[in-house]
Structure 1
């Protein structure tokens, strides 16, 4: 059983960091080290819940994954070249530690290579959490970052397979027939409805997939990811994904708590952890330069690089297997745990303020861009439209349908997902692909000719970010923004926006519709 005091401690720590303007996950890390030091709760239960969180995370990533995107060179080549640069560099640092830090024993060369491999990954948990909190899951930079992380996870899973105590079972070849299960899984998903059965189906499928792969001596997380891919692009995939988000986030809280239960290293090894944490400052620079090489914009390259700023949970898994096999001293596991925690503390402020950071240095970074950018990075033309709708989901799409009846040929929708923008365009809707929180995009949008902008993005924080950007660019037209709660409504009013509270005014819209039918 989980100690109630541990849950309360995680909540208070998360709340404190949220009040400081930082993601609550930093509070969970602090709570984990505090609880681990005081031996609060059952460490095995915490680790089991953390494992469930990672399985659900990989399953939900699979639900949104487009396998073809992994074949793009800016994904697989960037991941490969980054590893080719970072691993040898980390080996040199590890082999030099006994000269630089008194009290640290010399690291054997095979151990150094294994540690460098473990430290070459970035955290999937962290990146997904950051993108979810900023409402950027469909943006190009988020897709690139997740694609790179999945390639890294494939590297890690391959290592775990080849270094496992037991070779994959001969039955593992039967998994090549998994695509044959897709019609059955899709039918069960459709029959699950919209309530608790949908959630049970999602959790049961993720856990069942993990158990199936572990039964044939393969990594369970890989099974969850692949079963998610099997269910991607089904009619109810989006609904299943949304129904699992909160469960995934709750169990991932246990993951951040579990890092603290690895304990603290000795004094000398703590300095080693600090040195390893300092080494991550090279990561975003390497990613930035590689992505520029593959003809990405400076903004996209910066956002991807900073989202991959830290060490990965897979590094701890690789190290734990090496400790279990006796090829790595156990104190290295706690050292890597502290280095990972420190890397998260370093990465969070940069990612929290990444848009304002880019605004300050955009002119200098843009000079580094290549002359010919990728097609999806080139400017789009929104024509003569005087009304723009940012976010073409159900709310934005409904607003488009209504306004197009009154202002035909004078309205354009902007959708973050390039694939969805193409689908809407084919359906006869005037829609372009673009990121409303992208300062470059807004600067090229010729805002002064636009009379009204409607903002209906996935979360309140992203809506606020867009309003701030519009104000910074001296937009003089009307800004209308969707809100969901009274405090959000009041905040938008203070910023001078027209706002519509979905929950408070839903009844009004319902009654209005009924009266129209009666008339």
Structure 2
């Protein structure tokens, strides 16, 4: 089957799903199953395996660029990774044991140890699915984003340990030399400094991600871990954000191969669909377990709720676990097919549900907050803006430049708001007043005297996030003005429909500003 036809089908499916407001990756999953159903024998799946491997490696590398090591040692992350995993193994293996004794279903004719292994495979959450969702919504650096990604990283370490034990092999003796990557960050930093801003920068990203992947594999350690760790090592580099952006499109393209490859696993039977249905029923169980643990360790109900909704899906790592089990003839290969289907369904559920996560929290807030402990980790806003007439939500490049311009006129009457603790700290060191808070959190707007705020400027990367902030402001009966900035004219129209008083097209405004500055320069020359 020609590659261009596969790409065409994937595009049509992704495009169709996008039109109904769902992530395109769900269309890629569906097209993978369709292609395998009708053209399975004509498709060389190895091509998509290569693309999938590239996509996963780049994804983990870019996640590393956004993760700080300090975020991994917090109580919510450690407890949220370890406790749910153990609970899921016990609960799900127990449910499967009951099902095997209550029915004559041959698929359950496996040992207790194998049931525990299957439950272990279900305890992991999908790094790919969750990272894509947070990335598209601009929530990687929010409280729930950091907690979720930290839990995923801990799960990846657990996956490495499992693979070492399951395959019966230990890392090579020279794997100790991998520790040299820590002082090697000096050389890596110099490479990035000298790479410039053109095509060499993303190529340097490929070199680092794939190079460390190969190096770790050579030493008998999971290569994906190498890509993740090198990303974490350079996460504080001045070019890390630029490197992240330069790799985004490459990563997204290669990940299409991953979603297509899931559909190429095998064709399901009627019995497999029944088993898939049983596995999917475990998704709410995962949500409850994650939510319970995160609440118990003191996370606020909102952060625990959003993190749990993201983490309740199944991981592609489950396929690796069951693939090893089927290769050793421990279980039927129908388990592998059922896992592939369950992962696909869990991706769909997570993507659809999380799209409305913030609205769901607002709607069911009294019920959700009921479970919150009295002593919680304070993360609403440790430094609320005082006496602010103008708030700039999102202190990236656009927000920062807007802040600097307004401060000349308004002084301390202008404040910034950002959910990224590292960015907020850097702004503090630069002398800017920036409140550390998630503007989509309705409780944040409750700690501010909105009667004093005359203008709120939204400079967030995601149109969906700006929409949610506007909704929160309307619910708080905010009567001031709302301005937003976006790159695309169609998003501008949507934001105005949601309630923004004015929306600036980023590309257009930059062009106009550049022209005005240039004309002023020309007039100055003429006057001379």
TM-score, structure 2 normalization:
0.94
Report what 2:253 is aligned to: 250
Report what 2:58 is aligned to: 56
Unaligned runs of 5+ in 2: none
**1:72 aligns to 2:74 (yes or no):** yes
Report what 2:176 is aligned to: 173
Aligned to 2:451, the other structure's residue is in SS state: helix
| Matched ranges for 1:411-430 at <5 A | 411-430=414-433
TM-score, structure 1 normalization:
0.96
Report what 1:287 is aligned to: 290
Q: Distance in 2 between matches of 1:250 and 1:344?
A: 18
Q: Give the Å deviation of 1:119.
A: 1.0
Report what 1:3 is aligned to: 3
Q: Give the Å deviation of 1:272.
A: 1.2
| Matched ranges for 1:212-361 at <5 A | 212-361=215-364
Q: 497, 503, 508: which is aligned to 1:504? A: 508
Report what 2:195 is aligned to: 192
CA contact (8 A) 2:79 2:294 kept: no
Q: Give the Å deviation of 1:239.
A: 0.8
Report what 2:84 is aligned to: 82
Report what 1:140 is aligned to: 143
CA contact (8 A) 1:379 1:441 kept: no
| Matched ranges for 1:441-460 at <5 A | 441-460=444-463
Q: Distance in 2 between matches of 1:313 and 1:325?
A: 19
Q: 513, 518, 524: which is aligned to 1:514? A: 518
CA contact (8 A) 2:79 2:297 kept: no
Q: Give the Å deviation of 1:160.
A: 0.6
> 1:135-164 CA distances to partner (integer Å, 9 max, x unpaired)?
111111100000001111111111012222
Aligned to 1:447, the other structure's residue is in SS state: coil
> 1:468-516 CA distances to partner (integer Å, 9 max, x unpaired)?
3222332211101002122122223343421111111222101222345
Q: 94, 97, 101: which is aligned to 1:95? A: 97
CA contact (8 A) 1:382 1:412 kept: yes
CA contact (8 A) 1:489 1:500 kept: yes
> 1:324-353 CA distances to partner (integer Å, 9 max, x unpaired)?
333333222111111111222222221110
Q: Give the Å deviation of 1:378.
A: 5.3
Answer with 491-500 or 306-315: which moved more.
Answer: 491-500
Aligned to 2:374, the other structure's residue is in SS state: coil
CA contact (8 A) 2:393 2:460 kept: yes
Q: Give the Å deviation of 1:246.
A: 1.2
Q: 157, 162, 181: which is aligned to 2:160? A: 157
CA contact (8 A) 1:156 1:318 kept: no
Residues 2 and 449 (structure 1 numbering): CA distance in 2 closer, same or farther, change over 3 Å?
A: farther
Aligned to 2:267, the other structure's residue is in SS state: coil
User: C-alpha root-mean-square deviation of aligned residues, in Å?
Assistant: 1.7
Report what 1:18 is aligned to: 18
Residues 94 and 432 (structure 1 numbering): CA distance in 2 closer, same or farther, change over 3 Å?
A: same
Unaligned runs of 5+ in 1: none
Aligned to 2:274, the other structure's residue is in SS state: helix
Aligned length: 519
> 1:409-465 CA distances to partner (integer Å, 9 max, x unpaired)?
211100110222122122211111011111221233232321000000012222222
> 1:208-247 CA distances to partner (integer Å, 9 max, x unpaired)?
1111111122111011111212222112111111111111
Answer with 33-42 or 391-400: which moved more.
Answer: 33-42
CA contact (8 A) 1:95 1:107 kept: no
Q: Give the Å deviation of 1:116.
A: 1.1
Q: Distance in 2 between matches of 1:265 and 1:395?
A: 50
Report what 1:439 is aligned to: 442
Q: Distance in 1 between matches of 2:136 and 2:180?
A: 37
Answer with 493-502 or 196-205: which moved more.
Answer: 493-502
Residues 133 and 408 (structure 1 numbering): CA distance in 2 closer, same or farther, change over 3 Å?
A: same
> 1:7-32 CA distances to partner (integer Å, 9 max, x unpaired)?
11111111221111111111111111
Q: Distance in 1 between matches of 2:216 and 2:328?
A: 21
Q: Distance in 1 between matches of 2:121 and 2:245?
A: 32
CA contact (8 A) 1:6 1:41 kept: no
**1:111 aligns to 2:114 (yes or no):** yes
Answer with 322-331 or 129-138: which moved more.
Answer: 322-331
Aligned to 2:379, the other structure's residue is in SS state: helix
CA contact (8 A) 2:393 2:418 kept: yes
Q: Distance in 2 between matches of 1:220 and 1:362?
A: 42
Aligned to 1:235, the other structure's residue is in SS state: coil
CA contact (8 A) 2:287 2:312 kept: yes
> 1:356-394 CA distances to partner (integer Å, 9 max, x unpaired)?
100111122223222222133456421111110000111
CA contact (8 A) 2:110 2:331 kept: no
Q: Give the Å deviation of 1:101.
A: 5.2
CA contact (8 A) 2:398 2:459 kept: yes
Q: Distance in 2 between matches of 1:353 and 1:178?
A: 41
Q: Distance in 2 between matches of 1:96 and 1:3?
A: 46
